[in-house]
Amino acid sequence: MNLDVKEIFYSLQGEGGRQGEASIFIRLAGCNLKCDFCDTDFEDGTEMTRETIHTIIRQFPCQWIIWTGGEPTLQLTDDILWFFNNKGYKQAVESNGTQKLSPIFDYTVVSPKGSLAYAKQINPQVDELRLPIKENDSLPEIEWLPKAKKYFASPIFTDNPLQTKANIDHCVKQILSRPQWRLSLQIHKLIGIE
């Protein structure tokens, strides 16, 4: 019942539909994709039991866990989710959509980074769909995507401020022509928090 954990930290949710909410982030190591724009170090985790994780997170005055990665669904099992559920935690997941999401999650975010049709087939309904967008990308038709309560276009932040600005401007232009989408900026990067 051990997990390969990259890091655990307490911060504000920086993007999407729960933006600004205090949350406990548990980043699990490993991913089944190699995206060229990935901004997360998800390699080389530390093996931890669920009890050890609970000992670490119970110091925080918050009952929301965000399982993130890499790809957290490669490690999470229903037994692990029930363990934290029984401790009184609500649990969100941020997934690339390549694995089936457990119904135990209280909030599901899919950020597809591959076949949109496959993501829809695996997880036909999610709470939030967050699509990374760079300059010249087009927003897909909603019908191609998992059904979501909210659809977010998330401009990719790079080391080049001019490119990041171009990605943001492009997202704004896309959303103005497809108003069912919303803009999700990575405020944690803008305000300098984890």
| Catalytic sites, residue numbers | 25, 31, 35, 38-40, 94, 188
- How does DSSP classify residue 172? H
User: φ, ψ for residue 148 (rounded to 5)?
Assistant: -135, 155
What are the structure tokens assigned to 102, written together? Answer: 């457990």
Does residue 38 sit in helix, strand or coil? coil
At a CB cut-off of 8 Å and minimum separation 6, what does 2 contact?
A: 47, 48, 49
